[in-house]
């Protein structure tokens, strides 16, 4: 493979030298055309407009004042004028040397310019596949912490949601579903031709998930975005090869324009982010355990507690007096009703009112503050253009002590050395300082830790959680506040610090030679370097801060790319041709090293490695080194500017598929073909048909594997002994690799139509697609006797099939008022067509359906969905049998089976124990509606988006209900909440009357024996609970016990409290801007002055989640975990003000 790569490098170099050497001789005598480009609706000049001589590669762009100058070979040529977001126009020169041009905004016209693969600007009418373009200003206006989240709801076929990582957490982003069994199904992100590594931020297991630091995308500055193009299908991304199997998001940043003068732009965005709501906590019942297990409160004559009376206080002796106390009270919330007239001993050992604190969870958060300041200089001289941006982004999150400060700079410049040779360069540098990933303490407020009588405002205080000796208060040292729950949590948040210092460099150098009118050559080199130093400072919570530690690590990622491209354009009569051929070499590597103290700190609170009590731990690794060498071509044909055909091909050679002996299927070819027909220009259609286009495409793309996946590596290390260091090594995996492993292959079909009516006031863009990914690279279990744990093979077929629709309406359009509306609809069916024969019916993706506390797993199920949800804790269903165990008919067959707990005298549902399908993570559809109203200098807009269908498992709802924290836990707790009232006949109840009775629907399991009120043992197997109750064998079950057992770790079954179809509708964004009239600003020497107020994540208009659980609170951004909620987040809203000034 190395010789092939060297030949590729040599060939590219020779080609470039030969073609450059002929450039001067081929460049003919030319005539200069000048002019000005303006906006047809506002008459304002337009900088940065692209102007190309039709049928050639010769072109230029307008300067800061909208003027251009272009050398043409003939005054009979035609100019093709384009700008992102505007209709492309063909303007005949017709012998003129000055040609002024007007452009009309292309609000979804099918005629606008979009950026496609490899950064090629193309008119949308030429494309045989679906592309969505979003203007950079739209993303900057959203002011999302992660600029990628600003795309939410703006494109059909795209599913975006934020994680619970606060101001720097990651985002889930998928295009047309999951293509592979790999957890990362994110698209690639391409910034000015540089592909960014887009790591996921971990899964969502409750205690094992890593901190969510997000990824490089959060370091991008949306104020520099000129446009964002979302390339959805395989035909659109085929030129990116194996790295774009999941789609691509292509970001082009702004540039300067040639001409005299310098333009100055200043923007300021300042706002707040605050928690406005939380899931519905119950505030009626205080601390108290479930019925049957009460071991406090009053005692009978025999000294026994009334164990079924949950309305009793916990008591504690204070100065010889027995007083109700929160200290030692149960962590459950099935206790006495709150009544502020009652006095109780608080956690601080002081008497206080017995009351709930409805906002105790909300009070755990701060008000976040954000400020982003941008200063931009742009412009140029005759042959020079430049763009310089500096940005300061300061953010304080809603999570305590969470911060993200960013400092970034972008420098772009181009210089036209001759009429045929231009050099462009850019450098983007970002330094960010994220600090303290969020402590997801939402589960502390919904179960286990902070009951409804806990006051956050009182106890979130350093006087409480820090003892005089410096550690956490403890009863072992008779510290004040030693009984207060949460001291360890608040100490960790406010006394420990985790931070990163991140640096990103992205240099790009491009040399372009216009060899002739129809040929130009480009040689480009770029790099992306991402490195960070991380520190973890733990003070230690023990006496005098025992147990502290310090950790220091350095992480480094580097990728570099060199590519050569030749572009050709030629017209022959009605036939047009454009071609692009090129080659590319991409290389990436990653390394990390670090150390941490061991055994505590010699001097507490002093954080450096030499402060380690014992020999410190060191580690380092080098990995993920990979090289891909490629050649590619794009051939585009057109006829009468009505029929268009694209042919592409790319061949990749990947080092990740080269075996140690040099063999391997490491060369793979990706072709595509696409076509479009502008039928309204071919057919004689009515005037009310403004535009019509049909498109179709077929493509094959692929995906290789991670570095070192197919070759056995090893780790080296050492062990400290009394005799010194002993060096060790071990293999890094126990996976047997198939000797014929090949890349995954996606084959995709796409059909679409774009029709516009009534002078483009009504438009519909409709797409159907089907994509199948074959030869999935996956692990299958191996027999234990083989000595390996699994075998890596190619197998399987995953299909995505769906419909995307965008409806664009302009109900009103006149000189003063304009109303634009866009509706997006997405429906995708993600199916598993086949897997390997040794896998069985399904391959587990995440979680576990039959192990642990959660007992739900997502799976790739043959014949079913990607993300079929499986579990073994569905309620068992009754089946009567005869004496020989044969099934027989019975009126109770099919009803849920009940277990019985004699201690609580309550029935609850029995688990089936059989792994069964319970749902799917796939939503039925996604949708969004955006509206923009413009009246003179005012603009008002809002965006609503929603998800409909697809199952989720909310373990917050499950355990929060089991422990009595959420509203659903109050069901039947007393007569007011639906409980039955009865007087117990059991001897140990002293004839007490209860009002928390429940008659569970279901059938007792065969062989179930209960103790009757008369003290007899009675077999009630096969009877319904009501039958047994009416026979006098049982009394109503106590609501608290039923609620607990039906939702608990060890006994809970699937129920509607926590497993449900998720649907929501969100008012995602709203904004109002006002542009100060030019007649006023020009007197101040200001070209533009715009003020705005905006809000994001405004509110949910509909939410199907029980207890008003946040419907988007999923941890991490891996596709296989999108069903799992365990660390609940509150509802937060941002409001911010904007100021934009241009001089």
Q: Residue 733: its pLDDT value, please?
A: 66
Is the pLDDT higher at 48 or at 1129?
Answer: 1129
On whether the CB atoms of residues 752 and 694 are closer than 8 A, the answer is yes
Percentage above 70 pLDDT, the chain: 92
Report the 10 Å Cβ neighbour count for 1018: 16
Across-strand partners of 617? 596
- In this predicted structure, the answer to whether residue 1121 has a pLDDT above a threshold of 90 is no
Q: Residue 687: its pLDDT value, please?
A: 93
- In this predicted structure, the answer to whether residue 28 has a pLDDT above a threshold of 50 is no
Please report which confidence band the pLDDT of residue 23 belongs to, taking 50, 70 and 90 as the band edges.
very low
Give the mean pLDDT of 872-889.
94
Query: pLDDT tens-digit profile of 332-377?
Result: 999 999 998 889 999 999 999 999 999 999 999 999 999 999 999 9
Q: Residue 623: its pLDDT value, please?
A: 79
End-to-end CA distance of the chain: 55
DSSP assignment string, 258-293? SSSSEEEEEEEEEEEEEEEE-S-B--SB-SB--TT-
What region does 176 belong to: left with phi over 0, alpha with psi -120 to 50, or beta? left
Give the mean pLDDT of 316-328.
93
Q: Residue 1120: its pLDDT value, please?
A: 66
396-410, 473-487, 799-813, 835-849: range with lowest mean pLDDT: 835-849
Backbone φ and ψ for 397, nearest 5 degrees, come out as -85, 175
Q: Residue 1082: its pLDDT value, please?
A: 84
Instruction: Give span(s): CATH 2.170.130.10, the chain.
Output: 126-202+211-253
Q: Residue 164: its pLDDT value, please?
A: 63
Q: Residue 298: its pLDDT value, please?
A: 87
CATH superfamily of 2-105: Carboxypeptidase-like, regulatory domain (2.60.40.1120)
Report the 10 Å Cβ neighbour count for 53: 24
10-14, 124-128, 137-141, 1078-1082: range with lowest mean pLDDT: 10-14
CATH fold label, 126-202+211-253: Ferric Hydroxamate Uptake Protein; Chain A, domain 1 (2.170.130)
Q: Residue 106: its pLDDT value, please?
A: 65
3-class DSSP state of 731 = strand
Please report which confidence band the pLDDT of residue 876 belongs to, taking 50, 70 and 90 as the band edges.
very high
On whether the CB atoms of residues 308 and 294 are closer than 8 A, the answer is yes
Pairing of strands 790-813, 735-737: parallel
Give the mean pLDDT of 442-450.
87
Q: Residue 30: its pLDDT value, please?
A: 67
3-class DSSP state of 1069 = strand
Please report which confidence band the pLDDT of residue 731 belongs to, taking 50, 70 and 90 as the band edges.
low
Helix axis angle for 955-962 and 1039-1047, nearest 10°, is 150
Q: Residue 262: its pLDDT value, please?
A: 86
Q: What is the mean pLDDT of the chain?
A: 89
- In this predicted structure, the answer to whether residue 601 has a pLDDT above a threshold of 90 is yes
Please report which confidence band the pLDDT of residue 419 belongs to, taking 50, 70 and 90 as the band edges.
confident
CA dihedral (1113, 1115, 1119, 1121) positive or negative: negative
Rounded-to-integer distance, Cα 767 and Cα 750, Å = 7
Which tokens in the block code for residue 954? 């909310």
Give the mean pLDDT of 17-38.
61
- In this predicted structure, the answer to whether residue 676 has a pLDDT above a threshold of 70 is yes
Q: Residue 201: its pLDDT value, please?
A: 55
Query: pLDDT tens-digit profile of 950-970?
Result: 999 999 999 999 999 999 999
CA-nearest of 566, 579, 426, 562 to 505 is 426
Q: Residue 260: its pLDDT value, please?
A: 62
| CB-side neighbour CA atoms (13 Å) of 873 | 25
What's the length of the chain? 1143
Query: pLDDT tens-digit profile of 1007-1065?
Result: 999 999 999 999 999 999 999 999 999 999 999 999 999 999 999 999 999 999 999 99
CA-nearest of 518, 696, 680 to 111 is 680
Q: Residue 147: its pLDDT value, please?
A: 83
Query: pLDDT tens-digit profile of 117-134?
Result: 988 989 999 999 999 998
Give the mean pLDDT of 991-997.
96
- In this predicted structure, the answer to whether residue 720 has a pLDDT above a threshold of 70 is no
- In this predicted structure, the answer to whether residue 579 has a pLDDT above a threshold of 50 is yes
Element (H, E) at 1029: helix 1025-1030
Burial of 670 (0-12, 13-18, 19+ CB in 10 A): buried
Percentage above 90 pLDDT, the chain: 66
The alpha-carbon radius of gyration of the chain (Å, integer) is 34
Please report which confidence band the pLDDT of residue 185 belongs to, taking 50, 70 and 90 as the band edges.
confident
- In this predicted structure, the answer to whether residue 430 has a pLDDT above a threshold of 90 is yes
- In this predicted structure, the answer to whether residue 691 has a pLDDT above a threshold of 90 is yes
On whether the CB atoms of residues 894 and 878 are closer than 8 A, the answer is yes
Instruction: Give span(s): CATH 2.60.40.1120, the chain.
Output: 2-105
């Amino acid at each position: 493979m190395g010789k092939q790569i060297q030949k590729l490098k040599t060939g590219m170099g020779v080609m470039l030298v030969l073609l450059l050497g002929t450039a001067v001789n081929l460049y003919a005598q030319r005539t200069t055309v000048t002019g000005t480009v303006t906006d047809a609706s506002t008459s304002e000049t337009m900088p940065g407009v692209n102007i190309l001589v039709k049928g050639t590669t010769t072109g230029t762009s307008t300067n800061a004042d909208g003027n251009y100058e272009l050398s043409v070979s003939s005054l009979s040529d035609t100019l093709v004028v384009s700008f992102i977001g505007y209709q492309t126009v063909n303007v005949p020169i017709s012998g003129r040397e000055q040609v002024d041009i007007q452009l009309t905004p292309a609000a979804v016209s099918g005629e606008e310019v979009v950026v496609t693969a490899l950064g090629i600007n193309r008119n949308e009418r030429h494309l045989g596949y679906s592309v969505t373009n979003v203007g950079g200003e739209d993303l900057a206006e959203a002011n999302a912490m992660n600029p990628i989240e600003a795309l939410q709801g703006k494109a059909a076929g795209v599913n975006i949601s934020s994680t619970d990582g606060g101001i720097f957490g990651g985002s889930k982003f998928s295009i047309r579903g999951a293509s592979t069994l790999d957890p990362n199904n994110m698209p690639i992100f391409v910034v000015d031709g540089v592909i960014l590594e887009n790591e996921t931020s971990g899964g969502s297991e409750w205690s094992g998930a890593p901190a969510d630091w997000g990824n490089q995308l959060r370091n991008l500055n949306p104020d520099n975005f000129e446009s964002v193009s979302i390339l959805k299908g395989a035909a659109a991304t085929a030129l990116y090869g194996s790295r774009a199997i999941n789609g691509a998001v292509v970001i082009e940043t702004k540039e300067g324009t040639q001409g005299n003068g310098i333009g100055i732009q200043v923007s300021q965005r300042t706002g707040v982010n605050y928690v406005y709501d939380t899931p519905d906590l119950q505030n009626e019942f205080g601390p108290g355990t479930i019925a049957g297990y009460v071991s406090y409160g009053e005692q009978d004559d025999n000294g026994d507690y009334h164990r079924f009376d949950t309305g009793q206080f916990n008591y504690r002796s204070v100065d010889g007096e027995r007083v109700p106390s929160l200290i030692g009270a149960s962590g459950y919330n099935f206790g006495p009703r709150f009544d502020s007239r009652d006095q109780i001993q608080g956690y601080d050992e002081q008497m206080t009112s017995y009351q709930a604190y409805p906002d105790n969870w909300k009070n755990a958060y701060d008000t976040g503050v954000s400020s982003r300041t941008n200063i931009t200089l742009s412009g140029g001289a005759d042959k020079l253009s430049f763009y310089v941006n500096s940005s300061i982004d300061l953010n304080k999150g809603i999570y305590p002590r969470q911060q993200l400060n960013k400092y970034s700079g972008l420098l772009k410049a181009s210089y036209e050395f001759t009429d045929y040779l231009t050099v462009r360069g850019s450098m983007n540098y970002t330094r960010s300082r994220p600090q303290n990933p969020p402590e997801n303490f939402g589960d502390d407020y919904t179960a286990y830790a902070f009951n409804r009588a806990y006051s956050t405002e009182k106890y979130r205080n350093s006087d409480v959680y820090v003892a005089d000796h410096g550690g956490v208060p403890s009863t072992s040292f008779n510290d004040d506040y030693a009984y207060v729950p949460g001291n360890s949590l608040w100490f960790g948040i406010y006394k420990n610090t985790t931070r990163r210092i991140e640096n990103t460099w992205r240099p790009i150098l491009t040399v372009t030679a216009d060899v002739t009118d129809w040929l130009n050559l480009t040689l480009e080199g770029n790099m992306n370097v991402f490195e960070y130093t991380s520190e973890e400072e733990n003070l230690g919570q023990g006496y005098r801060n025992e147990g502290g530690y310090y950790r220091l690590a350095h992480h480094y990622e580097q990728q570099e790319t060199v590519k050569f491209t030749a572009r050709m354009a030629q017209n022959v009569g009605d036939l047009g041709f454009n071609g692009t051929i090129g080659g590319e070499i991409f290389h990436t590597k990653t390394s990390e090293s670090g150390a941490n103290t061991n055994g505590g700190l010699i001097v507490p609170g002093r954080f450096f490695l030499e402060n380690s009590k014992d020999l410190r731990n060191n580690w380092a690794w080098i990995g993920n080194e990979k090289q891909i060498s490629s050649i590619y071509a794009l051939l585009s044909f057109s006829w009468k500017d009505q029929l268009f055909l694209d042919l592409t091909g790319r061949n990749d050679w990947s080092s990740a598929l080269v075996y140690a002996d040099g063999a391997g299927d490491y060369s793979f070819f990706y072709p595509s073909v696409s076509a479009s027909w502008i039928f309204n220009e071919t057919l004689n259609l009515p005037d009310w048909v403004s535009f019509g286009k049909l498109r179709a495409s077929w493509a094959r793309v692929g995906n290789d594997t991670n570095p070192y996946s197919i070759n056995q590596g090893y780790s080296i290390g050492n062990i400290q002994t009394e005799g010194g260091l002993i060096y060790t090594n071990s293999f890094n995996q126990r996976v047997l690799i198939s000797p014929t492993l090949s890349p995954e292959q996606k084959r995709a079909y796409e059909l679409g139509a774009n029709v516009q009516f009534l002078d483009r006031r009504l438009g519909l863009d409709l797409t159907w697609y089907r994509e199948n990914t074959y030869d999935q690279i996956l692990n299958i279990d191996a027999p234990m006797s083989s000595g390996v744990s699994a075998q890596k093979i190619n197998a399987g077929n995953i299909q995505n099939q769906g419909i995307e629709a965008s409806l664009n309406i302009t109900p009103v359009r006149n000189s003063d008022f304009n109303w634009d509306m866009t509706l997006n609809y997405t429906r995708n069916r993600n199916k598993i067509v086949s897997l390997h024969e040794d896998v069985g019916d399904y391959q587990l993706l995440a979680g576990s359906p039959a192990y642990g506390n959660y007992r739900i797993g997502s799976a790739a199920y043959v014949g079913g969905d990607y993300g079929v949800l499986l579990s073994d804790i569905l309620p068992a269903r009754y089946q009567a049998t005869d004496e020989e165990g044969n099934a027989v008919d019975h009126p109770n067959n099919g009803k849920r089976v009940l277990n019985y707990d004699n201690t609580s005298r309550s029935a609850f549902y029995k688990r089936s124990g059989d792994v069964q399908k319970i749902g799917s993570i796939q939503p039925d559809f996604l949708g969004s509606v955006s509206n923009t109203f413009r009246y003179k200098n005012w603009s008002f807009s809002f965006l609503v988006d929603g998800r409909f269908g697809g199952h989720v498992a909310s373990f917050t709802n499950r355990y929060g209900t089991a422990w009595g924290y959420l509203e659903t836990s109050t069901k039947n707790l007393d007569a007011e909440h639906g409980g039955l009232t009865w007087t117990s006949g059991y001897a140990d109840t002293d004839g007490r009357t209860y009002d928390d009775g429940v008659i569970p629907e279901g059938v007792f399991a065969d062989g179930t024996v209960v103790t009757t009120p008369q003290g007899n043992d009675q077999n009630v197997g096969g009877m319904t609970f009501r039958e047994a109750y009416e026979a006098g064998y049982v009394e109503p079950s106590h609501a608290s016990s039923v609620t607990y057992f039906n939702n608990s770790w060890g006994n809970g079954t699937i129920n509607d409290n926590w497993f449900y179809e998720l649907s929501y509708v969100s008012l995602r964004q709203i904004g109002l801007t006002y542009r100060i009239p030019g007649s006023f600003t020009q007197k101040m020497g200001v070209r533009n002055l715009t003020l705005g107020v905006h809000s994001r994540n405004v509110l949910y208009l509909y939410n199907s989640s029980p207890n008003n659980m946040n419907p988007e609170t999923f941890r991490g951004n891996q596709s296989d975990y999108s069903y799992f909620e365990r660390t609940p987040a509150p509802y937060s809203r941002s409001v911010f003000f904007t100021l934009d000034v241009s001089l």
